[in-house]
Amino acid sequence: MTAQGEDILAWLDNAISVRETAATEAAAPYGGRWVQGFPEQHKDPDMRYGWAQDMVHLSQNDPHIAYQCLSGEIAAHTVLNDPESVLRRCAADRKLIGQHGPWNVRDRACRGCGLNNQDEQRIADYADCPVLNGIAEGYGWTGGER
């Protein structure tokens, strides 16, 4: 996704942007919120996709093309990771990232991690910020990127 040694803030911006783009594109044809359940007109036990225990409702505009058959576990996972949920998570992560990062252009101390008992920055370099590193791990950041 990024070159080894890339700054954690640039890496995070790229990783989040990739997910935002994917979520936006997934929402375009079907809408941003997906819900689990069979539509009334598809409760026939002899339906063509009889293997599917659940379906993900992708749109309320056209019930003939609005449902995708998925197994129960996959449908539940998909619903919990619908485009709206992904975009909310990305926005929340961007807010956290905005609270951390360099103190200013000359000081790499993390502005969000506060001061220690001697009134010095607790984290001297934002690249070592546990909040930024925790967010980055959720997007696939490993020690190899540093």
pLDDT at 73: 75
pLDDT at 49: 37
The model's pLDDT over 68-82, given as tens digits with 9 standing for 90+, comes to: 666 667 777 887 888
In what order do the strands lie in the sheet containing 54-57?
35-36, 54-57, 67-70
Nearest-CA neighbor of 98 among 124, 135, 128? 135
Residue with tokens 């997007």: 139
Q: Residue 17: in which H helix or E strand, if any?
A: helix 8-30
Separation of alpha carbons 54 and 76, rounded Å: 8
| Ranges in the chain, pLDDT < 70 | 1-6, 30, 35-72, 117-119, 143-146
pLDDT at 69: 63
Please, are residues 54 and 81 in contact by the beta-carbon 8 Å criterion? no
Asked whether the CA dihedral 70, 73, 79, 82 is positive or negative, the reply is: negative
Beta bridge partners of 36: 56
| Cβ burial 104-120 (10 Å sphere, 16+ → b, else e) | eeeebbbbbbeeeeeee
